[in-house]
Amino acid sequence: MQNGAGITSADGSLGDISWNVVGHTYTPKLHSTNAFIWHAVVPAETFVPPHIHPTQDEWIVMLEGELQVEMGGETHVAKAGDTVRMPMGEAHGIYNRSGKTATCIFGVAPTRKLFDLFGALNGVTDPQELVRLSALHEVDFLPPPDQA
């Protein structure tokens, strides 16, 4: 699905799609070849393990709450109004350790295979399957520290 001109409502999504990916609720807001943007509800104590997008730049615009983003050997704290920049090829992990739900807007450019990946990951709870599917869609998860 690619969308043309129009408005995606604040409480809506493209095609009424909503995905559960690693316990987060993702709703797509814009999808084209050049960019993919989605709204995310990130419950407390959930995370996206360290991974790399070898073919995309990624960013997060924080709306509410707080996320910790680990990249470049440092932990960065992002709060409402902040924009997190995660360049192509740079490993990053995203954590909500705040005790409260966070909401934000994520985006990637170019879109590549990420929209399709979220459809494939919807409701997947097995970590090995998540890693396998992600690798098929150009997202590479890093091994846990004790296996690196």
pLDDT given for residue 3 in this prediction: 73
* CATH T-level fold of 17-138: Jelly Rolls (2.60.120)
Answer whether residue 78 shows pLDDT above 80: yes
Read off the pLDDT band of 4 (50, 70, 90): confident
In the predicted structure, residue 148 carries a pLDDT above the cut 50: no
Say which amino acid occupies 34.
N
Beta strands (DSSP E) in 36-101 are: 36-42, 47-52, 57-64, 66-71, 74-79, 83-86, 92-95
Report which DSSP code applies to 118: H
CA distance 135 to 137: 5
| Paired strand residues for 27 | 39
Average pLDDT for residues 44-50, to the nearest whole number?
96
Query: Do residues 59 and 107 lie in contact, with contact meaning Cβ atoms separated by under 8 Å?
Result: yes
- Give residue 143's pLDDT band: very low, low, confident or very high (50, 70, 90): confident
